[in-house]
Amino acid sequence: MLLLANVLAGLGWALYWFLQLYSYVLIARAVVSWVSADPRNPIVHFLHAATEPALRAIRRRLPTSLRYFPIDIAFLVLFGLVLFAQYGVVQNLVDYARVLRREAVGFGVGG
């Protein structure tokens, strides 16, 4: 059980930091979209390459009335999904790992 707890905790924290980094990439993409950045710039190219596949998938699933809305709803949906995964899914993984550790050590068994 202790091994599973450590794997879950490590997976949870790795996922947390990946999602944290991806949220920074999303914020940078939003800032770049507000200014007229050179699309040939490698940083701008990276930001578009890192975020466009997920945004395109969300845009395809949005109703037509929201696809051409003045605010990019797909961006808000993706950012919300990243935050949900970060504070919902990851936190559950880490909490479950904590419970498994307690049981492995013996605090969760009987009186």
pLDDT tens per residue, range 47-90: 999 999 999 999 999 888 877 778 889 999 999 999 999 999 99
Highest mean pLDDT among 7-11, 64-68, 100-104: 7-11
Q: How far is Cα 30 from Cα 38, in angstroms, rounded to an integer?
A: 14
Residues 29-45 pLDDT 10s: 999 988 988 889 999 99
How far apart are alpha carbons 24 and 35 in whole angstroms? 17
Q: pTM, whole model, 2 decimals? A: 0.83
Q: How many helices (H) and strands (E) does the chain have?
A: 5, 0
Give the model's pLDDT for residue 70.
83
Q: What is d(CA 33, CA 55) in angstroms, rounded to the nearest whole number? A: 14
